[in-house]
Structure 1
Amino acid sequence: MTSQAAAAPDKLDATVLKIAGVVVLGAIMSILDITVVSVALPTFQTEFDATYAQVAWTMTGYTLALATVIPLSGWAADRFGTKRLYMLAILLFTLGSVLCATADSIGQLIAYRVLQGLGGGMLMPLGMTIMTRAAGPARIGRLMAVLGIPMLLGPIGGPILGGWLIDAASWHWIFLINLPIGAVALVYAYFALPKDSNEPSQSFDFVGMLMLSPGLALFLYGVSSLPETGTISAPRVWATMLVGALLVIGFVFYSFKPRHPLLDLRLFRNRNLTVATVSLFVFIIAFMGAGLLFPSYFLQVRGESTLHAGLLMAPQGIGAMLTMPIAGTLADRIPVGRTVPFAMALIAAGFLTFTQVGTDTSYWLLCGSLFVMGLGMGGTMMPIMTSALRTLTSHDTARGSTLVNILQQIGSSVGAAIMSVILTSQLNGSQAIPGLTDPRDGEPITEAGAAIAVQHGAQLPIDQSTFERGLAFVADSFATTFWVGFVLVLCTFIPIAFLPRRREVSHLLDDVPGAKAAPAPTMIH
């Protein structure tokens, strides 16, 4: 790997592409699994006779496991080697998937999802580390673009795959499908990944682990509970968020004392890493949070099936596939500060359409807007990640990618919670229908709730005018929520204005014996 990285040919050679294939397989398993399970929640309610709050823990438990294990990835990669750890992560994820398919209670399913998350949490940061080291400084952009494909297509392909598997077979297959993929990825990793080099053993930061991992888990637990409780004043929300935040803040002050902290915040002295991670964090909150509501609009307002809603999201993935390879090549040649703002402008333009959605907005307009957003997505996320990691040394890439992945996870959870709370509060403002209550909890049914239920085949004693009023209210609620998302997208332009506009000097090979020095920077006017 060292000689390949040192040579850094302009094109991606066969060896590097083989390594990329391993990482992409792992990323596909990890990312698709999140979105595939999201469409199965109603099925879990029926199969296990559980409430929505209970089945939602199949998502929350997975997220909390990710947050717990991601901080350990940087140290573990240095201590045990990326190849060994990556294969262990694949094994844990695949084992957890098989166990999920055997669950006969909601409690078992949640427990197995946590095991799955422990493996899935290591796949992405380790994958980024492996690819960054394999590519060398001259090819990071193109190789990161390869990794970005499953990251962008997961939210689109997941609902389609999940809907098809549940309709054609059973819910068990949304987990069993990972068995053959995991087996192939494990064998592939054994032969394709370079042998781990012996690294000097570093002391493990137990104090940091006792603060950071529980802190992140508690904070994200509180954030994830927001949509269910509907208010931040609930003790379950504010108390866990406060304790989690205090633990994380305590870790921040503590982390500068040990020589080898669990999470090396000293890396933020690197300006490129700092600006890129802040840009990525704001972008994830803005786009990923609201992006989860796009298929919900098709499901709840337009009455589409899960499969059709997933297919309607496909133009976004097509757009991303078109621009991502181009953006990867440009990221290796042109400073990202000169390209990312244009890509963000495409996202903002496409997003603006969704602030005007109604009950009969043209699908051509909506799909066209998703396509434009996809074009922007393909030119935004991975170039920012490339900028974050390009100027780190080879030894620091594991810890740098861990930082990036933690911020991604927090941003995604915060964004989803913000958008869900806003949409829920909007829908709760709908007028109640006199004399009509929900038999499960005795609560009055609103016009908006009745309209959504009728869209999905429920038989309720309401007239056409009530249905139309309720549906219009739901559409307006989505439009209001999308306005908030649009404003957050505009806020992303602030940090990306500070992205480097000059060619960065790479230090990726500085600590690799025998590697050639990084080429002198080229000024671009």
Structure 2
Amino acid sequence: MSASTPMLDPAVDPFKDPVLRRSIIAIMVGAMAVVFDTTILSIAIPTLTKDFNAPLNTIQWVVTGYLLAMFAVIPLTGWAQRRFGGKHLWIAALSLFTLGSLLCGFAWSATSLIAFRALQGLGGGIIIPLMATILMQAAGGRAPGRLMAVVGLPMALGPILGPVIGGIVLHFVHWSWLFWINIPLGALGLFMAVRMLPSDGATERPRLDGLGAVLSTVGVVSLIYGLSNVAGDGGFGHADVLIPGIGGLAITLGYVAYSMRRGENALIDLALLKHRPLATSTLLMFLAGTALYGAMFMIPLFYQQLRGSDVLATGLLLIPQGVGSLASRGIAGRLTDSIGSRVVVIAGFAIMTAATIPFAFADASTNAWFLGAILFIRGFGVGAVFMPLMATAYVGLSHEEIPHASIVTRVSQQIGGSFGIAVLAVVLQTQVRNVSSPAQAAHAFSHTFWWAVGFMALGLAVSPLLPGKSMTQAAPPLELVDAEV
């Protein structure tokens, strides 16, 4: 730990600090706009394809372009925070996202919409890791489980409300309102950030690691782009998957070696992965991302293609999973602070695994109420996995090291999610070829869901590597954590 970073008393409840409470409110309101935008738009692709008279592979760039723009700026977030200060960076990023939302509503063509979505992505890519960084630094490493439960609140509400709001908007008004409804949240978030976030102006002028910026950005963006193309014809064997995928992986590994040599002078200090809590959390965030996003790719398709549900009905049917995730976050956060993350994450992966198995046996006639109950249980497991992993990643890190951990875990989770979706998309496409009956379609989904179960079981098998209770107590100094390892 940096000698200049004071350790706060872990016995003091950080939630009694009025500055932290105000910061939480301001950050959560701003983050809601970003999370809702992602989940609302997930059901709008068919509408946009029709209104712009554009092919699906073009409109898909409304999502892909946003995603790639996000990952182009994530590696720069830590440096930018040190250079400009967390408050100023948050205001700039939220302003950029809100401006992008306004322009998206006025888009006159598919090309203009894709460009404005990329502008949104630049703001959103900074906001997501920065919100955890600002609040963890403000709390001084205390009560990480409960704090991450609060930070994850927008992620829980997004899947609950996003698809439903999106379905209502598309049913009653023009698609442009999918973006314009971000404006009030963005404006309110900006007002609160100006008034409520503490000033933390930059105290240093760090040099930008130019080579590291190029390697990390090009590597991750290329890898994500390659994985996003897997769902097209050719699967993993197609050139637009292999070339960017393998190239991106090679460049990313090159950055890993480069960062390990530079240590704290690197754009993203991957030498921190020698620290056990961060290393194990990063690995499990990859597996959790694979399990969560892979299954979430499958479940809406299961309802729409196998059971014939429309878009709005599918959004309503997915609500129980979001409610389950919301219900478990507070419990998981408190348990993480009291008994450690290992037991909580093991239980969470076990619940996710058990609650996905019924979908491998379900078909068009399976009782909808039963599936809703299973989704609630699955969501409960999702919350019990992600909150402890997010909290554990920061254990023992200094104020200056927290931004690096936020970036590493965020990138790991998203790469895992992209990988999970890519694999399940290929498996499902292979299975549905030459399907000619409902029974065969049900078998195709069943086979693919067993792959999703396998991802979750792998996460369950790796979970015991997490540190135990003694290492997840209120962020002790890094030197003490390393000694316990």
Please tell me the residue identity of whatever aligns with 1:140.
P
Please tell me the residue identity of whatever aligns with 1:296.
L
Tell me, yes or no, if structure 1 residue 418 matches structure 2 residue 423.
yes
Counting helix residues as a fraction of each chain, which structure ranks higher? 2
Please tell me the residue identity of whatever aligns with 1:147.
V
Q: 1:316-395, aligned counterparts within 5 Å?
A: 316-395=321-400
Q: Give deviations 1:340-381, integer Å, cap 9, x for gaps.
A: 211221111111111111111111221111111112122110
What is the rounded CA distance, in whole Å, between the counterparts of 1:332 and 1:230 in structure 2? 47
What is the rounded CA distance, in whole Å, between the counterparts of 2:334 and 2:472 in structure 1? 17
- Aligned partner of residue 359 in structure 1, secondary structure: coil
Tell me, yes or no, if structure 1 residue 128 matches structure 2 residue 95.
no
Q: Which residue of 1 aligns with 2:207?
A: 203
What is the rounded CA distance, in whole Å, between the counterparts of 1:152 and 1:348 in structure 2? 19
Can you give the 5+ residue segments of structure 2 that lack an aligned partner in the other structure?
none
How far 1:200 sits from its partner (Å)? 2.1
Q: Which residue of 2 aligns with 1:146?
A: 150
Q: Select 1:179's aligned residue among 178, 183, 187.
A: 183
Can you give the 5+ residue segments of structure 1 that lack an aligned partner in the other structure?
431-446, 448-468, 512-516
Q: Give deviations 1:81-139, integer Å, cap 9, x for gaps.
A: 11111111101111111111111111111111111000000111100001111223332
Pick closer, same or farther for the CA change 1:195–1:8 going to 2, 3 Å.
farther
Tell me, yes or no, if structure 1 residue 495 matches structure 2 residue 454.
no
What is the rounded CA distance, in whole Å, between the counterparts of 1:509 and 1:133 in structure 2? 14
Q: Which residue of 1 aligns with 2:278?
A: 273
- Aligned partner of residue 225 in structure 2, secondary structure: helix
Answer whether contact 1:316 1:374 (CA < 8 A) is retained: yes
What is the rounded CA distance, in whole Å, between the counterparts of 1:413 and 1:125 in structure 2? 18
What is the rounded CA distance, in whole Å, between the counterparts of 1:20 and 1:518 in structure 2? 29
Q: Which residue of 2 aligns with 1:436?
A: none
Q: 1:411-490, aligned counterparts within 5 Å?
A: 411-430=416-435, 447=436, 469=437, 471-490=438-457
Answer whether contact 2:396 2:476 (CA < 8 A) is retained: no
What is the rounded CA distance, in whole Å, between the counterparts of 1:76 and 1:506 in structure 2? 30
Percent of matched pairs sharing the same residue: 35
- Aligned partner of residue 503 in structure 1, secondary structure: helix
What is the rounded CA distance, in whole Å, between the counterparts of 1:198 and 1:488 in structure 2? 42
Answer whether contact 1:391 1:508 (CA < 8 A) is retained: yes
How far 1:141 sits from its partner (Å)? 1.2
Q: 1:10-409, aligned counterparts within 5 Å?
A: 10=13, 12-13=15-16, 14-258=18-262, 260-409=265-414
- Aligned partner of residue 315 in structure 1, secondary structure: helix
How far 1:304 sits from its partner (Å)? 1.5
What is the rounded CA distance, in whole Å, between the counterparts of 1:280 and 1:348 in structure 2? 16
Matched positions, count: 477
How far 1:509 sits from its partner (Å)? 8.2
Specify the structure having the higher radius of gyration (Cα): 1
How far 1:507 sits from its partner (Å)? 8.2
What is the rounded CA distance, in whole Å, between the counterparts of 1:472 and 1:162 in structure 2? 32
Q: Give deviations 1:312-365, integer Å, cap 9, x for gaps.
A: 111112222222111111212211112221122111111111111111111122
Answer whether contact 2:231 2:425 (CA < 8 A) is retained: yes
Following TM superposition, where does structure 1 have runs of at least 4 consecutive aligned residues deviating by more than 4 angstroms? Answer: 2-8, 505-511
Deviates more, 1:144-153 or 1:183-192: 144-153
What is the rounded CA distance, in whole Å, between the counterparts of 1:26 and 1:426 in structure 2? 42
Pick closer, same or farther for the CA change 1:279–1:7 going to 2, 3 Å.
closer
Answer whether contact 1:394 1:508 (CA < 8 A) is retained: no
Structure 1 vs Structure 2 CA RMSD:
2.3
What is the rounded CA distance, in whole Å, between the counterparts of 2:476 and 2:93 in structure 1? 26
How far 1:150 sits from its partner (Å)? 1.8
Please tell me the residue identity of whatever aligns with 2:413.
Q
TM-score normalized with structure 1 length: 0.87
How far 1:199 sits from its partner (Å)? 2.3
What is the rounded CA distance, in whole Å, between the counterparts of 1:226 and 1:155 in structure 2? 24
How far 1:197 sits from its partner (Å)? 4.3
- Aligned partner of residue 490 in structure 1, secondary structure: helix
What is the rounded CA distance, in whole Å, between the counterparts of 2:162 and 2:440 in structure 1? 28
Answer whether contact 1:276 1:496 (CA < 8 A) is retained: no
Q: Give deviations 1:36-93, integer Å, cap 9, x for gaps.
A: 1110000011011011111111111111111111011111111211111111110111
Deviates more, 1:269-278 or 1:332-341: 332-341
What is the rounded CA distance, in whole Å, between the counterparts of 1:8 and 1:397 in structure 2? 21
Q: Which residue of 2 aligns with 1:466?
A: none
- Aligned partner of residue 229 in structure 1, secondary structure: coil
Please tell me the residue identity of whatever aligns with 1:503.
S
How far 1:198 sits from its partner (Å)? 3.6
What is the rounded CA distance, in whole Å, between the counterparts of 1:207 and 1:11 in structure 2? 38
Q: Give deviations 1:484-507, integer Å, cap 9, x for gaps.
A: 000111000122111112322668
Answer whether contact 1:230 1:424 (CA < 8 A) is retained: no
Answer whether contact 1:67 1:409 (CA < 8 A) is retained: no
- Aligned partner of residue 265 in structure 2, secondary structure: coil
What is the rounded CA distance, in whole Å, between the counterparts of 2:261 and 2:351 in structure 1? 44
How far 1:15 sits from its partner (Å)? 3.1
Pick closer, same or farther for the CA change 1:8–1:169 going to 2, 3 Å.
farther
